[in-house]
C-alpha cells in the first residue's frame, strides 16, 4: 500500500467511526490520496451511501488531519498510517485494519511479540491474581502484553506486565481522554515504557460502540489472546470471537463452575479454547522460535521466588516439612479466608513457590 501519513489520518477520521467500510475502501482505493480526490460517482459504484463519503470529498478533512498531527507533536506522540513501514505487521492483515493509529510512547512495542490478556471489569481475587501474575511472567520473558486499560483484569494485566517488561494499552477514546479516569496515572506509566494506542482522533469520548472496535485491535495486535474471567455476555467473549476470525490462538483460564465470572471462560474451553493454568500454556501456542526463546528463559531469581505479603509468609510457614496440607486445613492454620487463600496460593504457584497435588493438597516446591 502507498500514501503518506496525513492522507491516512484524513481518511481515518471517517473510518474510525465507521470501520465496516474499511474493506471496501481499501479494495477500491489502495492509496488514500485517490479516495480523497475521488468523485461521488466512484463512491456510488463502491456501494457507499452519500452519508458515508460526503465528508471524504471535503477538503476540510486534510486540514483536520494537519490539526491532529500538530496535537500529537505537542504531546510527544505520533500517528502511523496503514501504508507506512512502522504500521503493526499483524494488524495490517485483519479484515478491517484502522487506517491510522495514534500512539503515545514507543510504537516499536507493537512490532514485538504481543500476547493479549482480557477479562472482567469486576473480577474475583482469583482473577486479579491470575491476570497480574500471568502478565508478569509473560512480559518477563520478552513478550509484550496488550490489553484495554479497563478496570479489573485489564488493569491487573498492565500492572503485572510493567513489573518485568512492557505493555500496550489500546484505548476506546482519543489520546486526550483517559477512560476510566482513575487509570490516568497507570496510562502515564504505560506510555513511559510501552505504548498507548488508539484509532480514535482527539476529542473522541468513550462511547459504547468504541469498545468492540478497540477489542479487534487488541486481538489483531496479538499472536494469542488469553481470557481470564468473563461471563457469558462479556465483551471479552466478543474479543475472543474476533481473535478467532483473525486466526489468532484463543486461550482461557478455567474457573469454578459455580461462578458467573467463569461461565464464559469455561464455555470457551468447552468450545475448544486451550485452558491456561500456567504461563507455559500460553507460550506453547506461539511460533517455534518465540516459544523456544520464552520457554528457555528463566525470569525469577532467588530473591523473587520468596514469600512477599504477610499472608504469603503465614501460608509458607504452614507448609513446612510435615507433608501436603489440605486447603481447608491451610485456611484454618494460616487464618486466611478461603477466597483470599485461593488467590494467594495461585500467586505462589505461578511463581514456583508451592505445588498443588490432587485433592487440593499443597506443599512447598522449593
Place 301 in a pLDDT band, splitting at 50, 70 and 90: very low
Place 291 in a pLDDT band, splitting at 50, 70 and 90: confident
Could you read off the pLDDT of 305-351 as tens digits, one per residue?
Answer: 567 788 888 898 888 756 788 999 999 999 999 888 988 888 888 77
Span 147-174, average pLDDT: 97
- Residue-level pLDDT at 61: 86
Place 365 in a pLDDT band, splitting at 50, 70 and 90: low
Residue labelled with grid coordinates 465483551: 235
Span 134-139, average pLDDT: 94
> Which residues share a beta bridge with 112?
none
Could you read off the pLDDT of 36-76 as tens digits, one per residue?
Answer: 888 888 887 777 777 767 777 777 888 899 999 999 999 99
Q: How many CA atoms lie within 13 A of 255 on its CB side?
A: 31
Q: Of the candidates 105, 124, 144, which is a domain's last residue?
A: 105
Q: Are residues 248 and 237 in the same domain?
A: yes
Q: How many CA atoms lie within 13 A of 72 on its CB side?
A: 26
Domain contains 301? no
Q: Which three cell numbers stand for residue 99?
A: 487506517
Q: Are residues 192 and 83 in the same domain?
A: no
Neighbours of 206 (CB within 10 A): 16
Q: Are residues 116 and 100 in the same domain?
A: no
Span 87-98, average pLDDT: 95
- Residue-level pLDDT at 310: 84
- Residue-level pLDDT at 303: 40
Domain contains 124? yes
Averaged pLDDT score across all residues of the chain = 89
- Residue-level pLDDT at 109: 94
- Residue-level pLDDT at 28: 87
Rg of the chain on CA atoms, in Å: 23
Q: Are residues 156 and 188 in the same domain?
A: yes
Which domain range does residue 61 map to? 5-105
Contact between residue 225 and residue 243 where contact means Cβ atoms under 8 Å apart: yes
Domain count, the chain: 3
Residue 352 has pLDDT above 70, yes or no: yes
Number of H helices, E strands in the chain: 17, 12
Q: State the DSSP code for 108.
A: G
Residues 6+ apart with CB under 8 A from 101: 79, 80, 87, 88, 91, 107, 197, 198, 199
Residue 3 has pLDDT above 70, yes or no: no
> In 3D, which of 216, 324, 226, 327 has the Cα closest to residue 275?
226
Q: Are residues 143 and 237 in the same domain?
A: yes
> In 3D, which of 304, 256, 249, 309 has the Cα closest to residue 282?
249
- Residue-level pLDDT at 231: 95
Span 234-255, average pLDDT: 94
- Residue-level pLDDT at 114: 97
Backbone φ and ψ for 265, nearest 5 degrees, come out as: -70, -40
Residues 6+ apart with CB under 8 A from 335: 314
Contact between residue 159 and residue 66 where contact means Cβ atoms under 8 Å apart: no
Residue 197 has pLDDT above 70, yes or no: yes
Q: How many CA atoms lie within 13 A of 219 on its CB side?
A: 30
Place 146 in a pLDDT band, splitting at 50, 70 and 90: very high
Place 360 in a pLDDT band, splitting at 50, 70 and 90: confident
Contact between residue 215 and residue 242 where contact means Cβ atoms under 8 Å apart: yes
Q: Of the candidates 85, 105, 125, which is a domain's last residue?
A: 105
Cis peptide before 180 (omega within 30 of 0): yes
Q: Are residues 286 and 321 in the same domain?
A: no
Distance CA 25, CA 206 (A): 26
- Residue-level pLDDT at 169: 98
Residue 258 has pLDDT above 60, yes or no: yes
CATH code for position 262 = 3.40.50.450
Amino acid at each position: 500500500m502507498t500514501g503518506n501519513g496525513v492522507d491516512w489520518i484524513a481518511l481515518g477520521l471517517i473510518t474510525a467511526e465507521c470501520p465496516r467500510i474499511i474493506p471496501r475502501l481499501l479494495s477500491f482505493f489502495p492509496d488514500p490520496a485517490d479516495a480523497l480526490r475521488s468523485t461521488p460517482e466512484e463512491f456510488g459504484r463502491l456501494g457507499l451511501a452519500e452519508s458515508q463519503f460526503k465528508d471524504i470529498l471535503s477538503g476540510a478533512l486534510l486540514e483536520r488531519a494537519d490539526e491532529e498531527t500538530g496535537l500529537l507533536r505537542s504531546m510527544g506522540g505520533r500517528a502511523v498510517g496503514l501504508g507506512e513501514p512502522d504500521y503493526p505487521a499483524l494488524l495490517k492483515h485483519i479484515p478491517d485494519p484502522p487506517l491510522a493509529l495514534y500512539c503515545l510512547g514507543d510504537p516499536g512495542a507493537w512490532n514485538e511479540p504481543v500476547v493479549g490478556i482480557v477479562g472482567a471489569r469486576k473480577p474475583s481475587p482469583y482473577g486479579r491474581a491470575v491476570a497480574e501474575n500471568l502478565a508478569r511472567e509473560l512480559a518477563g520473558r520478552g513478550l509484550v502484553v496488550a490489553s484495554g486499560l479497563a478496570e479489573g483484569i485489564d488493569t491487573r494485566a498492565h500492572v503485572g506486565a510493567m513489573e518485568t517488561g512492557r505493555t500496550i494499552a489500546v484505548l476506546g477514546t482519543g489520546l486526550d481522554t483517559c477512560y476510566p479516569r482513575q487509570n490516568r496515572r497507570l496510562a502515564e506509566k504505560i506510555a513511559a515504557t510501552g505504548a498507548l494506542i488508539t484509532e480514535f482522533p482527539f476529542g473522541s469520548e468513550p462511547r459504547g460502540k468504541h469498545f468492540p472496535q478497540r477489542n479487534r485491535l487488541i486481538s489483531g495486535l496479538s499472536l494469542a489472546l488469553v481470557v481470564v474471567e468473563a461471563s457469558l455476555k462479556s465483551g471479552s467473549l466478543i474479543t475472543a470471537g474476533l481473535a478467532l476470525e483473525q486466526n489468532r490462538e484463543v486461550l482461557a483460564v478455567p474457573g469454578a463452575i459455580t461462578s458467573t465470572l467463569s461461565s464464559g471462560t469455561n464455555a470457551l474451553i468447552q468450545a475448544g479454547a486451550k485452558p491456561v493454568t500456567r504461563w507455559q500454556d500460553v507460550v506453547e501456542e506461539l511460533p517455534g522460535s518465540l516459544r523456544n526463546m520464552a520457554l528457555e528463559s528463566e525470569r525469577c531469581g532467588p530473591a523473587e521466588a520468596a514469600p512477599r505479603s504477610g499472608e504469603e509468609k503465614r501460608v509458607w510457614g504452614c507448609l513446612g516439612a510435615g507433608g501436603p496440607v489440605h486447603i481447608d486445613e491451610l485456611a484454618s492454620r494460616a487464618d486466611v479466608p478461603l477466597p483470599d487463600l485461593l488467590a494467594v496460593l495461585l500467586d505462589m504457584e505461578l511463581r514456583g513457590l508451592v505445588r498443588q497435588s490432587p485433592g487440593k493438597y499443597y506443599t512447598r516446591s522449593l
